[in-house]
Structure formats: C-alpha cells, structure tokens
Amino acid sequence: MGPRIGAIQKDLVCRPYEEGGLGLRDVQNLNQALMSKHLWDVIRGKQDSIWVDWIFQNRLRDQTVWTASEKKGSWSWRKLLKLRAVLLLHIQYRIGDGVNLSLWKDP
C-alpha cells in the first residue's frame, strides 16, 4: 500500500472559492435535490414523462406516492420514497372546490 492521503473536511471543500474552499458542490445535497425533482414529477403526474408513466403502472398501481410502502420495491425506489418527508415541508395546498381532496390519502 502506498502512503495514505489525509482526509479533508467536507464543509471546507464545499465552501465557495472566495471563502477559502474549493467551490465544489455537496454531492449529497445535489443528489437529494435531483431525486426530489423526480419524486415531484410523480406527485404532480407529469404528462410527458415515460418514467412517470412507468412508476404509475409498475410501482404505484392503485396507490399514491403518499400511501406507497417503503418496504416494497427496489433500493432506489425505497430511497425515493424516503424523500416524501422532505417534500412535505414545502407543499402547500389550494383546496378549490374540494373535488380532488382526500383527507385519508393526502398528507
């Protein structure tokens, strides 16, 4: 084995260049943001997405994103469903006429 390279703290590396960091993005935050966008596309039922259509047909079937079980499905699907809690913090409802509102299934 060769010489071991010392680890650098993530917060130092991810600081902006002007503040003495390297200006790199935090990969964990970036991944969470991109996965949240995919989940948001499913929640709003994006019409022109093959991936969203596949999710509705193969993963959700007669469920919603909010009622789907985290125990079933692939590793990536379970990780995606864990982001529901993050999205809940940013969702606001407009009730309107109340036709599509479900007190039992909507968060």
Q: Is the pLDDT of residue 79 over 90?
A: yes
Give the pLDDT band of residue 32 (cuts 50, 70, 90): very high
Reported as half-sphere exposure (CB side, CA atoms, 13 A), residue 53 has a value of: 4
N-to-C CA span, the chain: 53
Average pLDDT, the chain: 84
Q: What is the mean pLDDT of residues 25-48?
A: 91
Amino acid letter, 20: G
Give the pLDDT band of residue 98 (cuts 50, 70, 90): low
Dist CA 107 CA 104 (whole Å) = 8
Burial readout 83-94 (b: 16 or more C-beta within 10 A, e: otherwise): bbeeeeeeeeee
Tell me the whole-structure pTM to 2 decimals: 0.69
Q: Is the pLDDT of residue 88 over 90?
A: no
Least confident of 11-25, 46-60, 93-107: 93-107
Give residue limits of the domains in the chain.
27-107
